[in-house]
Amino acid sequence: MYRTKETPKLNGSTVQPKGKGIIGLFIILCGVLLMHGCNIEDASKKDIASKKVGDLFQVEDLKKVKEDGSSRIKDSTDQEKINEALEAIEEIEVSDEEQRETYEFIFGLRSAVVIAQNQLNVRDAEPKSSENFESQDEQIEEDLPDYQPDEKDVVWKTNELKNKDILEEFMKVAGENGKNNTSEIRVVKDEGSQGVLIYDLKSMYDKNADQSWIRVTPDVSHYRALENEVQNVFNNAPQQCGYMSKDEAEGFYKLFECRTHWEYHLIPIANQQ
């Protein structure tokens, strides 16, 4: 009779075929490399954002910029480069393990961009000629397009708030305060002779990421800034904010975790209707 060939033993233990051990090691190695690759990618996005923000300033020391704002922007810094820096910041992914640290990192970069934007606005401001001088109010009224609020617009004017119920109902369900919500409202801030500032707010939801936020689209086409007025960075481009709430202590409806501001005072609470 023929005997079946047994797998040789070492110290009483069966020796496993080398092929299986190699395959197992290969699988483990692939997993490690994949995790390492993800970490490298996250770190790379942070590095890219840091470089783009640092490149806006003459001294590329972001800690110095964030602490005292003493660093000046480069002559080559323009709105396009600032927008590119903001886009790079938006690309940074926040992991569950490093959520707090990453949010602080992102907030620091955004703060530096705000400083750069303010300096750019001041640099680009052109003083008006004193020849044939007219009052600022007359110049504004002459070329300012008129805007008539819609019946459902949330309007803040002369210390009164119209359609407060529409605003607060939206606030309860929009962004992180709700889920799978797509409601939208328009907020109008009347600034008197300077015109009106318009904000279109829409609650957004990404089913795949299970994430909600508020998209804010500013419209300054019905508003004219005064001479040497520093432009509000919040109004430069569409914003993505986390949620909205009512701050009774400060007296404002506020947007939180926005692209350019950790919190933004949207409109006052006083004397609502």
Q: How far apart are CA 219 and CA 238, in angstroms?
A: 9
| DSSP-derived secondary structure for 20-88 | HHHHHHHHHHHHHHHHHHHHHHHHHHHHHHHHHHHTTBSS--HHHHHHH--PPBPTT--HHHHHHHHHH
The stretches in the chain having pLDDT less than 50 are: 1-5, 7-15, 17, 20, 22, 25-26, 29-38, 68, 128-134, 140, 272-273
Neighbour count for residue 180 (Cβ, 10 Å): 11
First to last CA, the chain: 102
Instruction: Name which of 54, 63, 46 is nearest 98 in CA terms.
Output: 46
pTM over cut 0.75: no
Q: What are 164's two structure tokens? A: 């407060």
pLDDT at position 126 is 57
Per-residue pLDDT at 124: 77
Return the pLDDT at 146. 82
DSSP state of 175: G
Q: Residue 15 belongs to what H/E stretch?
A: none
The rounded distance, in Å, linking the Cα atoms of 141 and 143 is 6
Name residue 208's amino acid.
Answer: N
Query: How far apart (Å, rounded) are the C-alpha atoms in residues 201 and 240?
Result: 10
